Structure 1
Amino acid sequence: MARDQQILEAAEELFFQRSFDGVGVDEIGRAAGVSGSAIYRHFDSKDEILAVLFDQAIDGLLTLIPIPSEDPRLELSGLVSAHLEFANSRHRLAAIWAREQRSLAEPYRRSYQRRQHGYVQLWVECVSRCYPNRSDADVITAVRGVHALLMSEAVRPVGGRRSHRATTVLTEIALAGLATLDVTPAA
C-alpha cells in the first residue's frame, strides 16, 4: 500500500473515532507508521488530508451511480441504492463526510461544494422528473432530507443497535417519503 493511502486510512479511522478537531498530525503519523513531520512529504496539511477524504467520498458515490434511465423512478431507486451502498460499504468515510463538512478549510471547501452540488443536482433532476409538479425548493428540501436519512446508519453511535434489515428499511422509507411529493402541496 502506498504511504499516501496509509496516511489517509489512518486519518479516516481517527477522524471517525474522535473527529477532525480531536486528532493531531502526530497521531495520524503514528497510526500510519510514520512521524508526524513525514506526513508533510505527502500532504500539505491536515486540512488537505480531510479534503482528499472528501474527494474520495464524492468519487465513491459517483462510481456507484447507475446509468441514467428513461424511467425516472427506476433511476431514483438506483440513486437511493447507490447512496446506501456507499454509506454501508464505506461507513467511516460516510460518517466523516456527513459530520465534518464544517471543518473543511478554504480553498478545499469551495472545490468540495462544487462537486457536492453536481452530485445533488443529479438527484434534483431525477426527483424533478418523477414529481414535475413540485417546486425546485420542495425537491431540493426532499433530496437533502433523503440524504440525511440514508446517511443515518453511517452516523449511528458506535455500539448502537442496527437492524439486519436496515438497508431495506431505509430504502423503503426514502422512496415512500419521496412519493409524498405526488400529493398536491398545501397553499
Structure 2
Amino acid sequence: MATRTDAPTRREQILREAARLFAERGFHGVGVDEIGAAVGISGPGLYRHFPGKDAMLAELLVGISGQLLTGARRRLAEAGADRSRADASRAGAEADRAGAEADRAGLGGSPAVVGGGPAVAEAVLDSLIEGHIDFAIDDRPLITLHDRELDRLRDSDRKLVRQLQRQYVELWVEAVRALYPNLVEPAARSAVHSVFGLLNSTPHLGRPGSLPGRAATAELLHRMARGAFAAAADA
C-alpha cells in the first residue's frame, strides 16, 4: 500500500478501504457491504475482485511485507550503484595520481579501489529508515491490522509474512552493522526490532490531523531511530 502518484486501481481502492475499516472496527466487525459502500460498489460486486474478506486480509498483510522488503532491496541497490560510481571516480583520480608518480619515478603501478566507508553505510541506513517512516506514517492502518489480525491468516500466508519480515530484518541488521561494526549480530538485531517498535508506534500518536505535520513527524522519528542505534552501539 505504498504511496503512489498515479490513480489507484479499483482493487487498490478496495484494499485501502478494507484496511481502514478493519483497523477501526476489527476484521469481524466489518462486512463486505460496508467495504463495497466505501468504494462505491455493491457488496457482491467485491467478489469480482476478491473471493472474500480473508483474501483481502491476506493480500494486505502479505502485500505490505513484500513491499517493504522490495523497497529495502531497491534502496540497497541504489546505494550500491551510487557507491560503484563514487568508487570508480575515486579510482580514476587515484590512477591519475599514481600514474603521474610512476612516470616521475620511472615505475609502473595501479591503485587499489577505495571502499565505500562510513559515509556510504550511513546513507544506506538513513535510506532504510526513511523508507520505513514513509510506511509508518502513510499506512498506519496496516500496522494496526498486523498487530491485531495476523493470526487470522491461513498458516501458509502467515508463514510467508514471517519469512518476508525475517528477510527485511536481516537487511537492516546488515546495514546497522556496516555503520556500527562493534555491534555483534544479536545486539544489532535487537536494536532493529526496537527501532521497528518505535517507528511502528504511529497508530498511537493520535489522528492524522492531530500530528505536528508529516515532515516534522518524519524528522522526529528519524532522529529517534538514529539515536537508538547510536545508543545501542555505545552500550
Give me the TM-score of the superposition, normalised by structure 2: 0.67
Q: How many residues align?
A: 184
Larger radius of gyration: 2
One-letter identity of the residue aligned with 2:231:
T
More divergent stretch after superposition (52-61 vs 14-23): 52-61
Equivalent position of 1:28 in the other structure:
35
TM-fit CA distance, 1:117: 1.5
Give me the TM-score of the superposition, normalised by structure 1: 0.81
Equivalent position of 1:45 in the other structure:
52
More divergent stretch after superposition (13-22 vs 168-177): 13-22
CA distance in 2, matches of 1:10, 1:118: 28
8 Å CA contact retained: 1:86, 1:94: no
CA distance in 2, matches of 1:83, 1:156: 16
1:73-88 counterparts in 2 under 5 A? 73-88=122-137
Q: Does 1:178 align with 2:221?
A: no
8 Å CA contact retained: 1:16, 1:95: yes
1:123-159 C-alpha deviation (Å, 9 max, x unpaired): 0111122223333222111111101111222443437
Task: State the SS of the aligned residue for 1:107.
Answer: helix
More divergent stretch after superposition (167-176 vs 11-20): 11-20
Q: Moved runs in structure 1, 4+ residues, more than 6 A? A: none
Q: 1:108 aligns with which of 157, 170, 177?
A: 157
TM-fit CA distance, 1:178: 0.4
Task: State the SS of the aligned residue for 1:80.
Answer: helix
Query: Which one has the bigger helix percentage?
Result: 2
One-letter identity of the residue aligned with 2:71:
T
Between the aligned residues of both structures, percent identity stands at 34
Gaps of 5+ in 1: none
Equivalent position of 1:169 in the other structure:
220
TM-fit CA distance, 1:177: 0.8
Q: 1:54 aligns with which of 52, 56, 61?
A: 61
8 Å CA contact retained: 1:57, 1:97: no
8 Å CA contact retained: 2:130, 2:222: yes
